[in-house]
Amino acid sequence: MSSTDFTTDVTSVNGSADQPVFIPAPATPYQGDIARYWDHEARPVNLRLGDVDGLYHHHYGIGDVDRSALGDTGDDAYEKRLIAELHRLESAQAEMLLDHLGAIARDDTLVDAGCGRGGSMVMAHQRFGCKVEGLTLSAKQAEFGNQRALELGIEDSVRSRVCNMLAMPFETGQAAGSWNNESSMYVDLEDLMAEHSRVLSVGGRYVTITGCWNPRYGQPSKWVSQINAHFECNIHSRREYLRAMADNRLVPQAVVDLTPATLPYWELRATSSLVTGIEEAFINSYRDGSFQYVLIAADRV
């Protein structure tokens, strides 16, 4: 499949059982590359953690490790408990993001830009009872997320679709809240913040949790370069996020450094059977200060 031929007949993505789905081509060759990357991604670290309770995330975790829940490392069930603990930490990260959305009503609409397999969307609907729209470049991810929503009986409220987050299919001011959870490193920040600003109502809340390189370090470190290469992304600096928000009527209400809170997740993951080879880069960059894990919540004014 080339970057100019991006169609599918997967009816569960956006269509009905008797209506084929036609997905528009990505706007750029790079977007085609990203779509293919995530269409073929099936890492156990994403799938086995989701199997714990049916919430499939594509982000990392925060919080202290519960050593009592892990038990004896020599126990045959230790690895299963470790996976459950990693999943608890990644769900805690999603809960923190949702905490920062503020007051959301049942008749509101939320937007998950870069929704992955939809775990955070399910959590948002379960918490607020509202409609949640997810956007992803990956037809496989959208199909997976929509199938999960169907299995949970929330398909009328939670929907994933294949779409460019820089051209969201929503009316101006339609969303009460929106977020990027570790997905903003795939796009230009000025364009991204302009689009969130457009779809948010005045007073609406935008939240991002992301890894970013620390401007105080001077330039992206070798560890950050390794992370970019591993995920085929372009990590931005913290300063770039704040500048792009300021340029697009998004006023930060909270900036939270989550770096100390995410290190336990990475240190635990590095001891598991789910290692992907990128753990060292995350741990070393967080420790030397060249990379940060931050939450920024901003209001549309």
Span of 7-21, 134-148, 197-211 with lowest mean pLDDT: 7-21
Span of 5-9, 96-100, 211-215, 295-299 with lowest mean pLDDT: 5-9
Asked: is 29-300 a CATH 3.90.1150.10 domain? The reply is: no
Residue 234 burial by Cβ neighbours in a 10 Å radius (0-12, 13-18, 19+): middle
Q: Given the structure tokens 């970057």, which residue do they identify?
A: 3
Model confidence pLDDT, tens digit, residues 118-172? 999 999 999 999 999 999 999 999 999 999 999 999 999 999 999 999 999 999 9
Residue 249 burial by Cβ neighbours in a 10 Å radius (0-12, 13-18, 19+): middle
Q: Where are the domains of the chain?
A: 29-300
Q: How confident is the model at residue 40, as a pLDDT?
A: 87
188 has a pLDDT exceeding 90: yes
Cα–Cα distance between 172 and 168 in angstroms, integer?
Answer: 10
In this prediction, residue 78 has a pLDDT band, given cuts at 50, 70 and 90, of: very high
Residue 294 burial by Cβ neighbours in a 10 Å radius (0-12, 13-18, 19+): middle
According to DSSP, the residues that pair with 165 across neighbouring strands are none
Report CA-CA distances (Å) from 226 to 41, 121, 185, 281. 18, 29, 14, 7
* Number of helical H runs and strand E runs in the chain: 12, 7
Can you point out the beta strands (E) in the chain? Answer: 109-113, 131-136, 158-162, 175-181, 200-213, 250-257, 291-300
How many Cβ atoms are within 10 Å of 248's Cβ, its own excluded? 20
> What is the token pair recorded at 165?
């987050």
Cα–Cα distance between 122 and 132 in angstroms, integer?
Answer: 8
Percent of the chain with pLDDT over 70: 92
